[in-house]
Structure 1
């Protein structure tokens, strides 16, 4: 995308001598053309949040010069898809049940499957409601897959998306209503009766 300095210079030339309404229209036109160009080039995501004079979702034509008109690109679909791929390829394969069980949760309670509709400021949590997920992560379950699959996936995602997203691995509590399998109460041991905490990827845009 054109640098801020270039944008400002070009805009001044384009709007020199115009009346205020015409300047607003020129700013809106310029912004629409720039966002279309950046998206078409692949530099920007086709999913973005738009802010016009600080108003989320307002149309470019409502701008009051000099604006600003701000586009915040949203790459959630890309990073969530990549996260699921990383987790699935590290999952046990005997039945495939575990690999099919990952859930994407937004706002702490809402399971989502359409990642293109998420707000750029959302917090996304990916976990697996199977009761043995923690044993896989900690390596206390005899399987043909390495332990720490969430932690390893976190590292891969940070290398790819670390400039745009914060990716953390945490053990989280899962409220009721998200899955029929969660939360799960431990049945044996010193913590019998306690709620299981689940390994998860917790992601936020920077």
Structure 2
């Protein structure tokens, strides 16, 4: 009986010591700093994004010092959206015709439907981002309706390049409406067609570049009629739920 009582006392003392150790602020601080050091090492090595959310035992944006030391978990969910936007914007500019440089400079970023004038590194995680060229002839250049020094399909080419570089992002090419702001020349957005649109008669292939199949002629399409509002080809970037 005495032995049983002694064993119980020893167990209580061990449990008490364990609780005291686990409650030690210095130990919590040590574990928290270790977590941050491992995170920062990954970021410095380029293996992780500098934009992230912190989860401590399932609590978002809690501090690492609050993690339970008995099977607690600190996890970092890294966001590559800001990095993907910066990469895609650079690709759009690099692939643009550069005779005057005006088209290259006209690429702009919208975040959640608003023009973004800050640095792309500040784009919040979970945003919907659109990269669009505001020039009135942006659609012609992208679809091949205007002969330039570069192939048509700039937005799609950038989408594919960005997807290879950032596979966790969701990227799409779509035609969007711009209902506010000014284009790169200072004109009001959106651009309104002043006359009936013209079919260029051009075609493009990798083997032969631009070729003219026929002379330009007036288009019969309703969306190219005078007074119609232009839609702009844009690259849309979002994050997957697991990204």
TM-score category of the 2 structures, normalised to the smaller one: 0.7 to 0.9
SS of residue matched to 1:70: strand
Map of 2:231 onto structure 1: 197
> What TM-score do you get using the length of structure 2 for normalisation?
0.68
| Post-superposition offset of 1:178 | 6.3
Map of 1:17 onto structure 2: 18
| Post-superposition offset of 1:195 | 1.8
Considering only aligned residues, what root-mean-square deviation do their CA atoms show, in Å? Answer: 2.4
Matched length: 190
2:112 pairs with 1:107: yes
Instruction: Return the alpha-carbon distance in structure 2 between the equivalents of residues 193 and 39 of structure 1.
Output: 51
2:41 pairs with 1:34: no
2:47 pairs with 1:43: yes
Alpha-carbon displacement from aligned partner over 1:153-201 (angstroms, at most 9, x marks no partner):
1111112212x21111111112213655421112222432222110011
2:164 pairs with 1:144: no
Map of 1:174 onto structure 2: 178
SS of residue matched to 1:99: helix
Q: Where does the alignment leave 5 or more consecutive residues of structure 2 unmatched?
A: 1-16, 197-221
Asked which structure has the greater CA Rg, the reply is 2
Instruction: Return the alpha-carbon distance in structure 2 between the equivalents of residues 46 and 139 of structure 1.
Output: 38
| Aligned pair partner of 1:186 in 193, 196, 202 | 193
Assess if the C-alpha contact under 8 Å between 1:48 and 1:74 holds in 2: yes
Instruction: Return the alpha-carbon distance in structure 2 between the equivalents of residues 159 and 61 of structure 1.
Output: 37
SS of residue matched to 1:73: strand
